[in-house]
Amino acid sequence: MAERGLVTGVGSRSVRVFVDGIGTLRCTLRGTLWPEAEAAGLTRPVAVGDRVELEIEGDEGAVCAVEPRRNRLSRQAATGHAAGGRGRDRDRQYGGPPPVQVIAANLDRILVVASLNDPPFRPGLVDRFLVAAAAEEIDATLVLNKVDLPGEPEVVQPWRDAGVHVICTSTETGEGIDELAPLLRDGICLLVGHSGVGKSSLLNAVDPTLKLDTGEVTLHHGRGRHTTTHVSLLPLEGGGWVVDSPGIRAFGLEDVPLEVLARLFPGFGDLPHDCKFRDCLHREEPGCAVIAAAENGTLDEDRFETYERIRDDLAAGEG
């Protein structure tokens, strides 16, 4: 009889699956799952957060089916191999696109974690994550961490003005931790952000029993080292699951059509719907409500410039 379980970890040859009443099992993947993943252009048949069907024998199991996903957060695989052992070079040789890595699936919330200045705040990366969350209809919160350090917390005001939920936090002073904790303990939550912004420190502050490794930002280039090296789904004391993932220095939006980008962009509101042309890209098109708002000052200039950079990267095929 097949059991249902929740994928909590993905390795190169096996996965970890949590089954109610049994616990976490090491499981293999049935061979039939790999051709399906390859046909879909994915690096792996499963990701953390997937609900799966498995057959159990002793203290191990075999995943035989993956249930349909409610949503997913994914990106093009930067290195490694596609499903079935086909590498990116071979994919390109035969004209196929680079494989897609699903970071996590079936998410209830995404927390986009940024730091005030250690490493520096990166609006473009924040917006990419928020657009990706909006595209998948996943609730998103912007967490500005390390607000105990010198800097201007007002840097997040444009996102507040855009209706994004923002929390300012510090693991040194405890600011914002009580506001953050209930979000983490409700369903499955994914923390994303640049290396060194303090994702693991925040998780430790909410649940000290996790005892996750933390690291310092290196001084000469302002980047954090990857204290988390793989994606894991961790249970929290008091309820909820949290996806602990490595810091991400770049994040593409290959699945977002150019003509849809502005409708998902934080701060644009209904402006893209007021443009003369439905497929307006807000470059030089006549009757563009977004350009008009940027010119008359009703749309924040920095918001429009960030959108233009992301739009042009997408148009150039750079995500």
CATH number at residue 308: 1.10.40.50
Same domain, 124 and 94: no
Q: Using 50, 70 and 90 to split pLDDT, how confident is the model at 95?
A: low
Same domain, 295 and 268: yes
DSSP strands (E only) in the chain: 3-10, 15-19, 23-29, 51-57, 60-66, 72-76, 100-105, 109-115, 139-145, 165-168, 188-192, 232-235, 241-244
The per-residue pLDDT for 179 is 97
Same domain, 95 and 134: no
Residue 65 CB: number of other CB atoms within 10 A? 15
Same domain, 115 and 80: no
- Indicate which CATH number applies to the domain containing 227: 3.40.50.300
Same domain, 129 and 70: no
Same domain, 95 and 123: no
Q: Using 50, 70 and 90 to split pLDDT, how confident is the model at 225?
A: very low
Q: Using 50, 70 and 90 to split pLDDT, how confident is the model at 61?
A: very high
Please determine, for residue 209, whether its predicted confidence score (pLDDT) is greater than 70: yes
Which residue, 55, 87, 102, sits at the end of a domain?
Answer: 102
Count of structural domains, the chain: 3
The Cα–Cα gap between 272 and 158 comes to 18
Q: Does residue 213 form part of some domain?
A: yes
Please determine, for residue 30, whether its predicted confidence score (pLDDT) is greater than 90: yes
Please determine, for residue 84, whether its predicted confidence score (pLDDT) is greater than 60: no
- What is the average pLDDT across 218-239? 62
Rg (CA), the chain: 21
- What is the average pLDDT across 55-79? 89
Please determine, for residue 223, whether its predicted confidence score (pLDDT) is greater than 50: no
Residue 214: name the closest of 172, 173, 175 by CA: 172
Same domain, 238 and 123: yes
Q: Using 50, 70 and 90 to split pLDDT, how confident is the model at 58?
A: confident
Same domain, 98 and 114: no
Q: Does residue 7 form part of some domain?
A: yes
The per-residue pLDDT for 91 is 42
Which residue, 76, 102, 128, sits at the end of a domain?
Answer: 102
pLDDT digits (tens, 9 = 90+) for 305-317: 999 999 999 998 7
Mean per-residue pLDDT over the chain, rounded: 87
Q: Is the dihedral of CA 53, 79, 39, 314 positive or negative?
A: positive
Q: Does residue 280 form part of some domain?
A: yes
Q: Does residue 249 form part of some domain?
A: no
Which residue, 194, 211, 244, sits at the end of a domain?
Answer: 244
The per-residue pLDDT for 88 is 39
| Amino acid sitting at position 216 | E
Q: Does residue 251 form part of some domain?
A: no
Q: Does residue 207 form part of some domain?
A: yes
Q: Using 50, 70 and 90 to split pLDDT, how confident is the model at 213?
A: confident
- Indicate which CATH number applies to the domain containing 23: 2.40.50.140
Domain of residue 145, residue span: 107-244
Please determine, for residue 217, whether its predicted confidence score (pLDDT) is greater than 50: no
The per-residue pLDDT for 13 is 80
Same domain, 64 and 177: no
Same domain, 215 and 125: yes
Same domain, 163 and 38: no
